[in-house]
Structure 1
C-alpha cells in the first residue's frame, strides 16, 4: 500500500492481487450453508456455516475443489447424508466421496444429491454422459449419453430432470429441459420434452414440493420463470427483465423455492441486479439490499435466502436475507483480504451512449478526486456473452487511484438486456463491439471526461480480441492491452474447448482475424503459457509480427498460467506491465493541455 499526498492510500499491484477472495457455488442442506471459497488463505475449498453454532464460524469441509466440466465448470460438490461431502478434485477432475473416487478419462461436474443418489455429468472428447453414483460402493451407472451437452440433473420422487443442447449451439441460444422416470434398474424411462427449442434457451430446472418442475426460459425474449405441471406450462413471474445468468457454468441457481409456495429470484436490468420475492399469490416484492450484483447462487435457509452480493463499495460477501418484510441482513462471511480502508474508492456512474441505433450502457469510473480530462481506459468485458459487473473491482481502483478514468462497456452482445441484444453480435464480432467502444470513447472525449491522446482500450479473453480489433482501424485509442486474447476466431473454433467451439463459429465472419499488418497502434500482449481456452500459439505469432512493425510494447508470457491469471504473482505482474505501458504513452504525449 502506497500513501499519496492527500493522506489516502493507493493500492499496489500486489495488494490488488492478494485481495482476490471469491465465493461461488452457494447451497444449503439440513440447515447449513455451504460454498466454495477461493482465496490465498484456503486455496479452493468447500466451506460451511452452521447458524445454530454459538461461534458462527466457517469450517473447512474439503480442499482442492474445482470442476472443469465444459471448460468453465459445473457444480463441484454435493452434500451427502450426515453432512458428508462429495467433491470434484481440482487436480484430477474426478469425484471424491470419502475414501472412494472415480477413475476414468472424464471431467466431472454438476454434482447433486437427491432421491438417495449422487447425480453428475461427465465429459470427454466424444460428448457428455449423465451418471448416477452410489458413494458407498463407488458404483456408476450411465443413464444418458450424447455427442452434445448435458447439465443440471435434479431428481424428485422417481423423476429426473436435466438440460441438454446440441454440440453446434451455445446453451444461451438453444437449450432444452427434459424429464424421465428413473428407478432402481439404473435405466431412464421415455424422456418427455418440457421446454426449449432452436430459438429458446430453457435452463435451471428445479422440482417443487408438489411435483411441479420450475425452469427459466427466454421464449418471450427475456429469461423468465415458468412452472410445468401435469403436462402444462404457465408463466410464474412475467417481466421485461433477465432472471437468469448466461450459463457459462452448469448448476446456477438464480431462483430458490421457499416454504408456503413463495420464490426468491434475482432480477437483472442492465448492470443492476435485484432480489425479489414472488409471493404465493404471484405478487412480486423487491427486497432492499446494499448489493448491486448478486451471483447466480441463491440458497434457501428456511424462509430466508442466502446469497453472494457485492456493490461498488463492498467486496463480495455472503449474507442471509430475511423475506418476512423486514429485509434484515446477516453477513456471515467477508473477505479477510481487504485493502486498507483509507483507499479512496471511485464509484461508477451508469451512462447510456447511443451507438449503432442502440443504447449502450457504460459504467464510468472517474479518477479518484473526480478530475475531468483524465487519461481513460475503455474496457470491453470478457465473454463476449456476459456483462460488466457493478461491484467493487480492485483492478479498476488500481488505475482510478492513479488518476485514470475507466469505462466498462456493455457493448451489443452483452447479457442483461434480453435475447435480441444478446444475439446482436452474431456474425459481427470485432465490428459492433468495436464500434460501441469507439463511440463510448468519443462521447467521453466530447463531454470533457477524457483527455485527447490518452485514451486506451484494455480487455481480457474476448475483451482482448475487441481491444486488438479496435486498434486495427483509426480511432481514439492510443494503445491496446490484450490479456489472454483470442486472435483468430475462425481458427479458435477448432482450438477452443468443445463447449465453446460453436461460440466462435456463431460470432465470427470472413475477416475476423487480427492481422499485424492491420494494426495501427502499439499493443501490449499478456498471456499464460498454459491457456487451454485461448492457446498461446496465435499470440506468439502476432507478437513476432507486431515486433517487426515496431508496434509491440511487450509480450508478457506468464509461466504456468492458464486463461485466468488467478495466481497473485501473475496478476500483479500483468497490472504493473499495463500501468507501465500507459505511463510510457503519457510521458511521450507530455503534460495535458488546458
Structure 2
C-alpha cells in the first residue's frame, strides 16, 4: 500500500461504510477494493469515503481529476478536471469541499478551497470559492456536523484555523504560530474535530510542536505530552486524539492522547530506548545571519571543540525535526558535533520567512549555514579545518553550492542532490516543477568550474526526483579536477535511502570521508 500521487503521495486508504478498506497499490498506483480495481492510466491518492462510493484524486501527465469510484466494480466517474492540482476532498450531507492550486504554483504559496452542492452518484454543482488566492495558502478543508467548514490559511502570515459559516469566515484562536505543515503530501490532518465542538490541533514554533485543544469559548488548552515533534496525521478516536509523536530521546511512536484534562497517554506502538543514555540531546541555539535570527539544533559531541557537520534540511520548504535522529547519533557517538540549520525559507516561522528563499536558492541558505558554522567556530564549539556541510535532496544542493565558495567548510557531502535547479524545472515531478522555477535564479546551477572544495556524492540510480545523470556528470568533471572524494552510486535505490543497507553504506562512506580529511590535516580522530 502506498500512493505516488503528486510524487510524494497522500492518504492511500479509506474505510468504507461497509467495513471494507480501499487502498492504493504502491506498484500500480491503482485503487483496490477486494477484487475490484480501477485499472486506468492514472496514479490515485487522497482516498475518502463518500456514502457508498469512494472519493479520490487521480493524476496523469495532463493534470488532476476529482473522481468517485464504485467499490463493487472499480469503475470511476469524473467530477472535476484541472491541468493543475486537487487535494483533500471531503463530503458531508450534500456538500463537497476540496483544495486546488494552479500548475505553476506550489500549494504552500497559493491554493484555494472550494465548496459545491453534491449528491453522491450525481454531478457537482457550481463551485463557490471559500478562501485562498495568489498570496494565500488555504488547505485542509473539513466539514463540521453543523454544516460549517473548517480550514487552515496563512492569510495572517501564519497558518491558522478558520471557520466558514453562512458565507462568513471567522478566525479560530488566532496566534503567531504555524498550525499546518507545508503540504508536501495530500491528505494531511493537522487538526481534528472532537465531540462537544472542541478541536485538537498542532501548533508549531520553529522546529517544536505542541498539541492543543481549542475550546468552544475560544480558549486553548495545551496537552502535556512527551513529544516535541508531531506528524500531520491526527485522527479523532472518540474524545481522544491518535497521533505519531517523537522527541530527542523518544523514537517515533503511535499514541492515543486523552483530552479530558488527565493528559493520559497510551502508547499503541513504539520502540522505546532505555532512558536515552548516550543520546546526544540538541541544544536550541539562536544565531544571527544577515539581519535575521536563525534557529539551530546543535548536537554536542563527547568533547569540545570537535569536528562539526552542518546540515541544511531537505525541502527546502521544510524544517529541522526536533526528534531522535539516528543519523545524527551515528556521528555524535563518534565524536562529531552536528548542527541542523533552519535557514531562510524554512517552515515553522511564518509566510514571510518561508518565502525569503524565493529567487535566492543557493545564496541565502548557504549564507545562513556559513554564518552558523562561523558562530560555532568563534565560540569554540567547532574545530578549525574540520567543518563539513552535508545535506540530502535540496540540502544536498545547498551543500554543493557551499562547496563553490570560500568559507569555513572543508568538504561537502551531497546525497540525492539537485545539481541544476533550472534544468530541474523540466526533470522534476510535475508537482515540483513550479518549486524549481520559484526558487531558482539565472546562476543557480552547480558547475564543475565553480567548485572549490572536495565533494562526496551519494546517489541512487533510480532517483525519480533528482536525476542520477546530473550527479554522475558532475562527479566525472570533479574527478578530473581532483575535487571528487568519491561517487557512491546505489543500485536499485530511489530518492530516499529508506532501505537499511543503502543508508548504512551512505553513512559509512560519509564517515570515511570525514576521517580521511582529519588524518590528512594531522588532526586527532574523534573517539
Smaller-chain TM-score range? Answer: over 0.9
- The alpha carbon displacement at 1:194 in A equals 0.4
Find the counterpart in structure 2 of residue 136 from structure 1.
72
Distance in 2 between residues matched to 1:249 and 1:464, nearest whole Å:
21
2:182 aligns with one of 246, 249, 266: 246
2:300 aligns with one of 363, 366, 370: 366
1:415 pairs with 2:351: no
Find the counterpart in structure 2 of residue 296 from structure 1.
232
* Contact 2:53-2:120 within 8 A present in 1 as well: no
1:227 pairs with 2:163: yes
* Contact 1:115-1:158 within 8 A present in 2 as well: no
* Aligned ranges 1:454-533 → 2 under 5 Å: 454-533=386-465
Find the counterpart in structure 1 of residue 473 from structure 2.
541
Distance in 2 between residues matched to 1:400 and 1:185, nearest whole Å:
57
Find the counterpart in structure 1 of residue 113 from structure 2.
177
- The alpha carbon displacement at 1:105 in A equals 1.1
For residues 481-513 of structure 1, the C-alpha deviation after alignment (integer angstroms, 9 at most, x for no partner) is 000000000000110000000000000001100
Distance in 2 between residues matched to 1:158 and 1:202, nearest whole Å:
22
- The alpha carbon displacement at 1:104 in A equals 1.1
Counterpart secondary structure, 1:81: coil
Distance in 1 between residues matched to 2:327 and 2:277, nearest whole Å:
13
Find the counterpart in structure 1 of residue 129 from structure 2.
193
- The alpha carbon displacement at 1:341 in A equals 7.0
Find the counterpart in structure 2 of residue 273 from structure 1.
209
1:395 pairs with 2:327: yes
Distance in 1 between residues matched to 2:405 and 2:136, nearest whole Å:
36
Find the counterpart in structure 1 of residue 380 from structure 2.
448
1:434 aligns with one of 357, 366, 372: 366
1:102 pairs with 2:38: yes
- The alpha carbon displacement at 1:329 in A equals 0.5
1:216 aligns with one of 128, 152, 157: 152
Structure 1 residues 197 and 431: CA distance shift in structure 2, 3 A = same
Unaligned runs of 5+ in 1: 1-64
* Contact 2:159-2:177 within 8 A present in 1 as well: yes
* Contact 2:23-2:33 within 8 A present in 1 as well: yes
* Contact 2:38-2:75 within 8 A present in 1 as well: no
2:278 aligns with one of 334, 344, 356: 344
Distance in 2 between residues matched to 1:448 and 1:559, nearest whole Å:
41
Counterpart secondary structure, 2:5: coil
Distance in 1 between residues matched to 2:128 and 2:332, nearest whole Å:
53
Unaligned runs of 5+ in 2: none
Distance in 2 between residues matched to 1:449 and 1:290, nearest whole Å:
29
Find the counterpart in structure 2 of residue 406 from structure 1.
338
* Contact 2:447-2:474 within 8 A present in 1 as well: yes
Structure 1 range deviating more: 213-222 or 583-592: 583-592
Structure 1 residues 342 and 427: CA distance shift in structure 2, 3 A = closer
Find the counterpart in structure 1 of residue 490 from structure 2.
558
2:252 aligns with one of 304, 316, 322: 316
Counterpart secondary structure, 2:400: helix
Counterpart secondary structure, 1:83: coil
1:205 aligns with one of 141, 160, 170: 141
For residues 355-375 of structure 1, the C-alpha deviation after alignment (integer angstroms, 9 at most, x for no partner) is 0111010000001x3x11100
Structure 1 residues 107 and 409: CA distance shift in structure 2, 3 A = same
1:116 pairs with 2:52: yes
* Contact 2:51-2:120 within 8 A present in 1 as well: no
* Contact 1:115-1:156 within 8 A present in 2 as well: no
Distance in 1 between residues matched to 2:353 and 2:51, nearest whole Å:
40
RMSD: 1.2
Distance in 2 between residues matched to 1:153 and 1:501, nearest whole Å:
23
Counterpart secondary structure, 1:180: strand
Distance in 2 between residues matched to 1:247 and 1:226, nearest whole Å:
17
Find the counterpart in structure 1 of residue 504 from structure 2.
572
1:86 pairs with 2:22: yes
- The alpha carbon displacement at 1:137 in A equals 2.8
Q: TM-score scaled by structure 2?
A: 0.98
1:161 aligns with one of 75, 80, 97: 97
Which one has more relative contact order, counting CA pairs under 8 Å at least 6 apart? 1
For residues 453-472 of structure 1, the C-alpha deviation after alignment (integer angstroms, 9 at most, x for no partner) is 00000000000000000010
* Contact 1:451-1:592 within 8 A present in 2 as well: no
Q: TM-score scaled by structure 1?
A: 0.87
* Contact 2:250-2:273 within 8 A present in 1 as well: no
For residues 52-96 of structure 1, the C-alpha deviation after alignment (integer angstroms, 9 at most, x for no partner) is xxxxxxxxxxxxx11000000011000112432100011111101
Find the counterpart in structure 1 of residue 243 from structure 2.
307
Distance in 1 between residues matched to 2:242 and 2:491, nearest whole Å:
38
Structure 1 range deviating more: 96-105 or 415-424: 96-105
Moved over 6 A (4+): 338-342
Aligned residues between the structures: 525
